[in-house]
Structure 1
Amino acid sequence: MPFLAIKPARADNNIHAGHFHELFAIFQDNMTNATSVEGLTPIDALMPRNYIRVVLVFEDATNQSAQTTGLVQSGLNVISKQIQWLSGRVFPKASAGGDPYSLEIRWDGHTTPTLIDKGTIDISYDTASANGMQPESIPETIWPVSGMIDESLHIAGAPVFAASTFRFADRGFGLCICMHHNAVDGAAFSEIIRQWGRAIAEPDLVIPSSFEGRCERLTAALADDLAETLSTSTDELFEKHPEYSRLPPAVPETFPSCTCKLFTVSLNWIDTLKSLLAKHTLTPPSTNTILSALLWTTITRVRTTSGSFSSEIQNSRLVTAVNARRHLPLAFSPPDAQYLGNAIFYGFAEFSAPALAGADESPIRSLAEICTTVLNSQYPFTINARHVAEVHELITRTGDPRALFVGWDLFNSRDLTITSWADFGLYGVDFGLGLGRPSFVRLPYMEADGVVIVLPRRRGEGETGVEVVVMLQRDHMDVLVEDEMWRTLTKG
């Protein structure tokens, strides 16, 4: 996920303190004399100080939760030996005066993460699944850690990994997984879960332990481009990367009430639009491109309709998370030893806000132009090794990534950010007998304005739509759910 102003809702500080107390008791032993260190890259340090949190929900037809938990823990024991820094904590790196700010993971070889049993919740699996397992149906109490990492925990060393299990009131099993965002991005998170599932389903499987050395892998992949970037001035780097800014965002005195909601965008409509748009675009738009364009136009229209969209706002910016692994040499992240650090960068598109809001007046031609704008911001020639090297250099020159800010508007209902997990394949992870594949992949209920997360796709014959979690101001969400075009595009 990008560094966004996202916060968990209905947070209870006492509950969170209890979560961390439980977790620290598990991670405390043997950590005082950490013997191994994994340095984190400048790209890692740029990420927000929070946890990526995902819950996998299983129908658990056998309803043998004790045996199931044992199998899941045994798989965790295996991958903790292969990816040893999972058992560690993220610390600010000790440095002499004037050294740039950096982070590192410290761990020893005697600690293994332990699942926290959250017991049985009062919610029925049958009822929640019939309603699509909405984010608000997942209580905050089931998570092993809070989403945010405060300063005291950061200094003390926040655990890289935490996981908990719970059971629904009638049947069904939940596995909550949290990983420190400075250690992993969504792609790395998903690969670790995939390896975890393999370790459970195939107990005798030996997983290659070639997952360390991220700093060396990144600098090796960027060596030539980093050398050429040295001659580019800092001002030129900022001009080439408007997604970053020297200036912190202007924080309003009060924040509007925000909410989030899960929608399913019809694949039938997306496929229809693909056919209609083909003759108006040089490159046939993908499902992701069309979905991004639809979200951008619809949310801008909703914001305009609500009356809170400032007439002074001429342009809206779309920021999309792009997985740079696909655009770097194969040796950087081969299939059998994928890069497990942060390698997500930002496509940055800009378009006339009035044109976005009125795109439904001549939908196909307007949508084609918007799709082209989105695609150009994400193309391999846009997010490539040179792009990554320039961002790496920009962070290095800043000296402290905390002094590098986002270049888009977080608070004035102007811009939109989209992070897609569609291709991460979590529904295809088989956890073996007793669990099988997850029936739902969900995120916690979160609040923000202008943030969309595309959930993992359910690939196969039964897939009829793409699930998206939309976060907006509450009054804008009220308009969205009643918007005639959005209701046509979505279901559920």
Structure 2
Amino acid sequence: MADDNEDHYFGLTPIDQIMPRGYTRMAFCFPFASDDPVPAIEALQQAHKAAIARFPFMAGTVALSRDGGEHTGRLEVRYNNHDVDEAQVFVKKLEPPEFPHTYEELKSMGMPPSKLAGPLISPLPDFPDATKSCPVMALQANFLPGGLILAVSTHRNVTDAAGTAVFLYALRQSLETHGDTPINLPEFSDDKLRLLLTPGLPHTSPLHEHPEYTLDTDVVAVSSPGAQAGDGSDLRQDNPTDEETQYLNQGKIFVLSAEKIESLKTYLGKRASEKQSVEEAMNRNHRPVVVTTDDALCALVWVFVTRARALYLTTLQSESPDEELSSSLSLSVSIRGHIQPPIPAFYVGASVVYSQATLPVKILLGADGAGLSIDAREYSVPSSAASALTQCAIQIRQAVDRVTPSHVRSLISLCHSTADIRDLQVNARCAGGPDVLITSWSDLDLSEGQWLIPGIGNDGNVEFIRKPWSRQDGAMILMPRIDHSSPGADNDDDGDGLEVLIQLRTEAMVRLEQDVSFMSYVTKVIE
């Protein structure tokens, strides 16, 4: 007789394996008008069960592979029918003295991440103990006076932000149908679908073809305060009341004027075309530079964060006077649409790789705004940063364009040839270094669709999406775009602003907020 609780296992793709080992954490914030949370809890539990039934591995655990995982670092997913049947939404009531705020108070402050401590609203930390098995995901409903904060945590080595968005789409569909109607997604076997991202090239790819990654375990890509080179990210949970954290690092959301960013994008596109027209005579293979909104945002952050770090970057340069100090921007780039056969839109596994743009720090700090044929002032672009911003935008677009099908397959080959996959890390010296790492949630439709949860307001639409408070120096997120403006609001209202989470050491954050040129783009700072 077959075992009704048979264990299921499947290995993860090389792209899954090289993601930073931790959780993607999101908090979806809604007004909640009902005095009785029970109907909302029951609806969420029912919808969650339906979504888990569609993606049963999300109820499982991720652990080192049974086939030599202790030595190779490879991970696998494990789950059984009991895991699926017992999967549920965690529920918590936030109230004084632990949580002294109402939803309206938080809303009036712009839903500050510093009030949303990870351990308070999320059942899982940013970085779990990598030596132990841990849940693939967790969902926690936090009820506070006048509000509901739905915290979602998904393991980066199993799914990414785009995959999380697919799962949440299934959850919203189940809320609409009370879990009674099949979810409107194509049927597929996830473990077989992951085979699309397993084959590499027929030959081994050398590391120098992928400077965005490194086998140098002394590189600390993204770490918490006090982490030393080689330690990676420590296991302490993020807590905004921790004195050491407050002293060392800060994380704030900067709301940038959409109109000014659009103007910056136009300017950078014209400057890039102007610069390219000169180079085309020497190189006919130049591809047209098309600057996107995200390119403009990334260029702006890269330039002005580097300038805010100038004091300690000067110290780093003085320690190695014979070597030119460079800064790299590591970008997460979706490989959907960049690989053959194509990855379906409903794929839930990790589908991002990192690409890298690099420039000498002296260019990022340089104030070369003289002799420009296109007047930066016409586009409200600071002339002191015009040249640096243009070069950044060009490098960023080239980095994104490098992610081709052959590039992805080459990276997969590199993964296959790496004995211990844990040694292959993102080559980003963010913590206390000159580099920046940017992830984008801006194009994932996370704010789309209604959440038909009994008792919530705003017509079932999410009001804010936040990452629970964190403190990772040099790690930035382009946040989902939500229109916060109200009918009849003034044109200068910041409802259409573009939110960027910026995390820096405290002294650099202070200098960033004192930079008049950068702050000319900022309509609001949310701490």
TM-score (norm 2): 0.78
Q: Among 476, 481, 487, which residue is 2:513 paired with?
A: 481
SS of alignment partner, residue 128 of structure 2: coil
Contact 2:13 2:198 in 1 (8 A): no
Give the CA deviation at 1:412: 3.5
- Letter of the structure 2 residue corresponding to residue 369 of structure 1: Q
Instruction: Answer yes or no: is 1:103 the counterpart of 2:75.
Output: yes
- Letter of the structure 2 residue corresponding to residue 160 of structure 1: V
Q: Structure 1 vs Structure 2: percent identity of aligned residues?
A: 25
Distance verdict in 2 for CA 1:320–1:409, change over 3 Å: same
Residue 111 of structure 2 corresponds to: 133
- Letter of the structure 1 residue corresponding to residue 216 of structure 2: L
Instruction: Answer yes or no: is 1:217 the counterpart of 2:239.
Output: no
Question: Aligned pair count?
Answer: 445
Q: Among 159, 174, 177, which residue is 1:202 paired with?
A: 177
Instruction: Answer yes or no: is 1:147 the counterpart of 2:138.
Output: no
- Give CA-to-partner distance per residue, 1:354-387, whole Å, 9 cap, x none: 11123554444442222111100001xx112211
Rounded to whole Å, the distance in 1 between the matches of 2:160 and 2:514 is 34
Contact 1:89 1:158 in 2 (8 A): yes
- Give CA-to-partner distance per residue, 1:138-158, whole Å, 9 cap, x none: 133221122221145x2xx21
- Letter of the structure 2 residue corresponding to residue 119 of structure 1: K
Residue 248 of structure 2 corresponds to: 257
Instruction: Answer yes or no: is 1:352 the counterpart of 2:366.
Output: no
Rounded to whole Å, the distance in 1 between the matches of 2:147 and 2:395 is 43
Contact 2:302 2:329 in 1 (8 A): yes
Distance verdict in 2 for CA 1:446–1:97, change over 3 Å: closer
Distance verdict in 2 for CA 1:274–1:49, change over 3 Å: closer
Alignment of 1:34-183 (within 5 A): 34-95=6-67, 100-110=72-82, 111-121=85-95, 122-139=100-117, 140-151=119-130, 154=132, 157-168=133-144, 170-183=145-158
Instruction: Answer yes or no: is 1:469 the counterpart of 2:501.
Output: yes
Contact 1:34 1:106 in 2 (8 A): no
Distance verdict in 2 for CA 1:309–1:445, change over 3 Å: farther
Q: Among 330, 334, 339, which residue is 2:344 paired with?
A: 334
Rounded to whole Å, the distance in 2 between the matches of 1:93 and 1:432 is 39
Contact 2:15 2:197 in 1 (8 A): no
Give the CA deviation at 1:137: 1.0
Rounded to whole Å, the distance in 1 between the matches of 2:190 and 2:503 is 36
Give the CA deviation at 1:295: 0.3
- Letter of the structure 2 residue corresponding to residue 292 of structure 1: C
Residue 6 of structure 1 corresponds to: none
Q: Among 314, 321, 328, which residue is 1:317 paired with?
A: 328
Residue 20 of structure 1 corresponds to: none
Residue 3 of structure 1 corresponds to: none
* Mean Cα deviation higher: 135-144 or 451-460: 451-460
Distance verdict in 2 for CA 1:240–1:363, change over 3 Å: same
Unpaired runs of 5+ in structure 2? Answer: 221-226, 230-243, 274-288, 368-381, 487-494
Rounded to whole Å, the distance in 2 between the matches of 1:43 and 1:290 is 27
Residue 11 of structure 1 corresponds to: none
- Letter of the structure 2 residue corresponding to residue 480 of structure 1: L
* Mean Cα deviation higher: 258-267 or 111-120: 111-120
SS of alignment partner, residue 251 of structure 2: strand
Give the CA deviation at 1:270: 0.8
SS of alignment partner, residue 447 of structure 1: coil
Contact 1:45 1:182 in 2 (8 A): yes
Rounded to whole Å, the distance in 2 between the matches of 1:104 and 1:372 is 39
* Mean Cα deviation higher: 415-424 or 393-402: 393-402
Give the CA deviation at 1:189: 1.1
Instruction: Answer yes or no: is 1:191 the counterpart of 2:166.
Output: yes
Rounded to whole Å, the distance in 1 between the matches of 2:138 and 2:250 is 26
- Give CA-to-partner distance per residue, 1:248-306, whole Å, 9 cap, x none: 12567599811211111111111112333332223341110000000000001111156
Alignment of 1:273-284 (within 5 A): 273-282=264-273, 283-284=289-290
Unpaired runs of 5+ in structure 1? Answer: 1-30
* Root mean square deviation of aligned Cα: 2.6
Distance verdict in 2 for CA 1:290–1:63, change over 3 Å: farther
Give the CA deviation at 1:136: 0.4
Rounded to whole Å, the distance in 1 between the matches of 2:25 and 2:443 is 17
Rounded to whole Å, the distance in 2 between the matches of 1:135 and 1:159 is 24
Distance verdict in 2 for CA 1:441–1:160, change over 3 Å: same
- Letter of the structure 2 residue corresponding to residue 488 of structure 1: S
Return structure 1 stretches of 4+ with deviation > 6 angstroms: none
- Letter of the structure 2 residue corresponding to residue 56 of structure 1: F
- Letter of the structure 1 residue corresponding to residue 88 of structure 2: T
Give the CA deviation at 1:393: 1.2
Give the CA deviation at 1:405: 2.7
